[in-house]
Amino acid sequence: MTDEWERALSEVLPDLVETARNERLEEIEVADEHHTIRLRLAEPAADASTVVEPADIEAADPPVARTAHVGIFHRRIDDGADPIAEPGDALEEGAPLGFVDVLGVSHEVPAPFDGTIEAFLVPDGQPVEYGQPIARLTPAG
């Protein structure tokens, strides 16, 4: 590794990470003919108080709503729109609580039963896998 890249890793990269976080950039790539550094930062949820920490996801007891797709989870239809559903909202079975964007095609994440949203387990704009829990719900009744 060249002295220039060692300096970049030790001195420039921390500043680059801070700038990316402050400016809410999603990806930065710096490269030369021999090396590439790609930095990808996920945008935090709009309301962190409604998102369960990742360590709590595994401990989350069912019942949960799960995604049937691999893609990017969204709680809003558009950037400026209100979330489709909020913690505390009562939903009927099949009502949307968000959607997963799969290559530009939106797929609703439906409530699996009548109930109330306790918390979202995935922040808005985060990648999700098939079957991943999206929200914890309290069954109605």
Task: Supply the pTM of this predicted model.
Answer: 0.56
**Spans of all domains in the chain:** 3-40, 48-139
Going from the C-alpha of 128 to that of each of 14, 76, 100, 114, the distances in angstroms are: 28, 16, 8, 23
Segment 109-118, tens digit of pLDDT = 999 999 999 9
Question: What is the second-level CATH architecture of the domain 48-139?
Answer: Beta Barrel (2.40)
Q: Which residues pair with 120 in a beta bridge?
A: 51, 135
CA-nearest of 133, 78, 79, 68 to 102 is 68
Segment 19-50, tens digit of pLDDT = 766 666 667 677 777 777 776 665 554 444 44
